[in-house]
Structure 1
Amino acid sequence: MPQPYESEQPLPGGFVSDAVLAGGTVRKPPPRDPEFVRGLLRHFEEHGWDGAPRFLGTDDRGREVLGFVDGVVPWRPNDEPPSIRSERGLAAVARLVRRFHDLTAGTELAGRHEVVCHNDLSPRNTVYRETGGRLFPVAFIDWDIAGPGERIHDVAHVCWQYVGLGPGVADAAAAGRLVRVIADAYGLADRSALIDTVLWWQDRCWRGIEAAAGAGEPAMVRLRELGTVDVVRAAHDWTRDHRDLLRSAVGARD
């Protein structure tokens, strides 16, 4: 069992789980389905994939103990280096997603579904390292809500979160081209449902936060108080209004 440490440093950017850095490891409350997530992280380790933290056990407080992935996590959107949302940066994210999808395809973890999905891919859950003066993604963190799913689910979430689809987009056509960069780099063959899946995520997200906050879940109450519901609803409305343009840009065909 990993030993406790007197000195613990809170890790910034955690809206849902309280993660701390202690003795070179990350300590955080266990996910809802700890055995699944632990099995997934072990699967990655067994296949030599360094794109996720290593599960090291639990401590005397019942917290998950994970290996610390060194790098930069851009948890403040306003301070993001431009390279993160550049075409090269987005393509690198898409290829990293494709890698772990391929590692889980056809496994017991995926079950009847295509792959195991992370289900919360975003820059704030991505570790970047500098290469040639630019930041490139090397790993994804916070696998707490990972589960069996379809490839397009994670790809759509990447399009929403990394391109930033919503009212903050200055040029919808340019955003559409970035969505296509992601789909191309991932190798997504059927794109007919990609934008509709983005809309599905956005609708599911704000409704889920609202429902959980109404049920009194502290983390969701905090998110609602921060205005997240309104932000996501606005993103959904923007994506809906630009749906045809985005579908055309990504090369979607019914």
Structure 2
Amino acid sequence: MSRQRRVTGERLAGGLAHDVVRIGETVRRPMPARAAYIHDVLRLFARHGWPAAPRYLGVDEEGRQTLTYLAGHVAWQPAQPPAVWSEDSLTRVAKLVRQFHDLTAGTPLAEDDEVVCHNDLSPRNTVYRDDGAGLRPYAFIDWDFAAPGRRIHDVAHVCWQFLDLGPGRASPEGPARLIGLVADTYALRTRDRRALVETILWWQDRCWRGIDERADAGDPAMERLRSAGHVKAIQEAYAWVDEHRSALESALL
């Protein structure tokens, strides 16, 4: 039975670290670390009727996490339809982040911190649907790294990933304006606006070092990421943000 399910399941594209399989209207994934906490976060969203995250359904016969399948377009490839990168999509992302932050603020899941953070917000972890005006963000998936944190942590990650900050950007002027748009849409506090670019740099430094250290320790998933060039790409993105830091902060201060 177990072997048959693996054959009939549809492997979903885009998983950088884990095999993810769709069976019917469910998704089966390896059980994450801190699974009980992650499942409590998803249960909280379900209780509030927040539609922008999958529902936790339990554990299947192979010990995998079972979630509802969210139909739509997952933007895991670098080349995407223009609507994915549109300002309308960007503001929608910022609004969704504000929604789940507000849902978790002050709850036991936030512990002594501000909110529950997703900690890996990016187009590849976002489901887009066409609302009649083109693809727009509908939901966030892959909550494996969710944890108590500060609002600015997720907002900074959004700016890095959804604006593709790095050497692929011809100049910092456009990204600077869009960073300001994210901060305005989210209604980021003044003290966090001052620290936003610094927090983007913190994320980039943390990410490349984390991949490197875990790959050195023999983590197969991190070894694959490093072999695929992710460490070098993140280091180059860090250097670009650091070089253009003043220009990026101009729209925030």
Q: TM-score, normalised by structure 2?
A: 0.96
Gaps of 5+ in 2: none
Amino acid at match of 1:198: I
Match for residue 141 of structure 1? 141
For 1:17 and 1:102, the matched residues in 2 are separated by 30
Q: State the Cα distance separating 1:83 from its structure 2 match.
A: 1.6
SS of 1:194's equivalent?
Answer: helix
Matching of residues 76-225 of structure 1 within 5 Å? 76-78=77-79, 80-190=80-190, 191-225=193-227
Q: State the Cα distance separating 1:133 from its structure 2 match.
A: 3.3
Report the more deviating stretch, 193-202 or 4-13. Answer: 4-13
User: What CA deviation, in whole Å up to 9, does each residue of 1:30-68 have, x standing for no partner?
Assistant: 111000000000000000001100000001110000000
Q: State the Cα distance separating 1:131 from its structure 2 match.
A: 1.6
For 2:114 and 2:189, the matched residues in 1 are separated by 14
Amino acid at match of 2:54: P
SS of 1:13's equivalent?
Answer: coil
For 1:133 and 1:81, the matched residues in 2 are separated by 13
User: What CA deviation, in whole Å up to 9, does each residue of 1:120-153 have, x standing for no partner?
Assistant: 0000000010022311111000000100000000
User: What CA deviation, in whole Å up to 9, does each residue of 1:168-196 have, x standing for no partner?
Assistant: 11231011111111111111022000000
For 1:185 and 1:221, the matched residues in 2 are separated by 37
Q: Let me know the Cα RMSD of the aligned residues.
A: 1.0
For 1:195 and 1:83, the matched residues in 2 are separated by 25
Q: TM-score, normalised by structure 1?
A: 0.95
For 2:123 and 2:163, the matched residues in 1 are separated by 10
For 1:102 and 1:24, the matched residues in 2 are separated by 29
For 1:16 and 1:44, the matched residues in 2 are separated by 25
For 2:239 and 2:147, the matched residues in 1 are separated by 27
Matching of residues 8-47 of structure 1 within 5 Å? 8-47=9-48
For 1:19 and 1:221, the matched residues in 2 are separated by 19
Q: How many residue pairs align between the two structures?
A: 247
The sequence identity of aligned pairs, in percent, is: 54
Q: State the Cα distance separating 1:81 from its structure 2 match.
A: 1.2
Match for residue 228 of structure 1? 230
Report the more deviating stretch, 82-91 or 31-40. Answer: 82-91
Gaps of 5+ in 1: none
Amino acid at match of 1:140: F
Q: State the Cα distance separating 1:84 from its structure 2 match.
A: 1.6
SS of 2:15's equivalent?
Answer: coil
Q: Give runs of ≥4 in structure 1 deviating > 3 Å.
A: none
| 2:244 is aligned with 1:242 | yes
For 2:82 and 2:178, the matched residues in 1 are separated by 14
